[in-house]
Chain A
Amino acid sequence: MAVIGSLFALGANQISPRGLALTRNYFPAGTGRRLPGLLPVSVSHNASGTDFLAADSGQVLAAELKEKGLQLIDCSRAAQLFHGPRFAQNQVVFIDARDEPRYREGHIPGAYEFDPYRPEKYFDAVLPLCRAAEQIVVYCNGGDCDDSETAAVLLRDIGIANQKLLVFGGGISEWTTNGLPVETGGRSSGNLRIPGK
């Protein structure tokens, strides 16, 4: 029974369009936050079930990124780059490291989709831009999401200079919380909305 089940499972994974590539390293260079039970999870601290992360998680994350040669930026810096003139000239590029459904739900306007777990789909569109850009802002959901870090390390490992890579730790959550615009649908769809309005 176990043998048949295992064969069924392997076959199903092979057939499934969402199946995993068994030999691929999905977490290059030890990406991910492995502090003992703090960052990778949500923890409830009160009866209403509100989630929170440890107060010093930003410092911890900054130190972890620094070890990998990456730089953490906050929302005000990300917004500054977004509103600056270099963004329109593609000298500053925003990379959304979430999967397609989440990207289409709402992303930073003009950000490029780059799911680090299916990178082959996006290399053609994203790599030339990243090579030409002066600064690359990579983000995901924020909070306990570490896909931005995974994407940044992936880009670094395929030859993008790490000095250019900025990880926006607060991600789309912090972006929307600050009332900054998001774009729904595909890139440059023109469907802009301001959260909370």
Chain B
Amino acid sequence: MNTGKPDWRRIALNLSAVLARWILGAVFLYAGLSKALHPVDFLKLLRQYDLVQSPLPLNVIAATLPWFETFCGLLLLAGVAVRGTALTLMLMLVPFTVLVFHRALAIQSALAIPFCMVKFDCGCGSGTVFICRKLLENCLLILFSAWLLAGYGRQLSLRFSLSKPHLRRTEPETTHK
């Protein structure tokens, strides 16, 4: 029922979700481009994880991942296929975070230093960082992705869902008639 009064709480929630979408998009755009412009550096960092032994899969990951992140960042900033992109980012962020965590544990164990004093370039596009800060950042990004996946952040989006474009018009805040 429309009482004519704006629901400020809901508006604030929606705007926060849009902000989260933009932040997530900007972070991935920056991280992707910074790696895409220096693919050899990223290749070397990626190799330290010993994920694969053969050159071909390693090269494919190092060559495509930065551009894929850039692509996802652009989609989020523009608000295109947001839920699918958020799901993809979650599927990338969770294993990346686990990998980074394991590598940090190995370094901590090898050097016998406090966990939060471990500092290394994880290949995340942000250079050398303290591990605790990196893990917190990643958790925040995972939360943002989950929020978008739940359907929030559809305001100011070009085409929130590719399969259900009519959903944009069902939002009361975006209907101005």
Contacts and interface: CB of A to CB of B under 8 A. Distances in A.
Interface in B89-120: 103, 106-107, 109-111, 113, 117-120
A25 B55 contact: yes
Given A1-B85, A43-B107, A24 B48 contact: no
B39 A9 contact: no
A19 B63 contact: yes
Given A23-B55, A43-B120, A13 B107 contact: no
A117 B42 CA distance: 12
B110 A37 contact: yes
A89 interface: no
A9 B103 CA distance: 27
Given A8-B68, A26-B43, A37-B106, A45 B113 contact: yes
B162 A1 contact: yes
A197 interface: no
Given A9-B67, A25-B55, A20 B48 contact: no
A60 to B, nearest CB: 12
B67 A1 contact: no
Nearest to B45: A40
Place the interface of chain A in its size category.
35 or more
B84 A38 contact: no
Contacts of A18: 36-40
Interface of B: 36-40, 43-44, 47-48, 50, 55-56, 59-60, 62-68, 70-72, 75, 81, 84-85, 88, 103, 106-107, 109-111, 113, 117-121, 128, 130, 162
Given A9-B71, A22-B56, A42-B121, A1 B36 contact: no
B111 A43 contact: yes
Task: List the 8 closest pairs (A to B, CB-CB), nearest first.
Answer: A9-B67, A9-B64, A37-B107, A41-B120, A44-B119, A37-B106, A13-B63, A12-B67
Q: Which one of B40, B56, B66, B128 has the highest number of Cβ atoms from chain A below 10 Å of its Cβ?
A: B40
Contacts of B39: 13, 16, 18-20
B110 A38 contact: yes
Contacts of B128: 42, 51
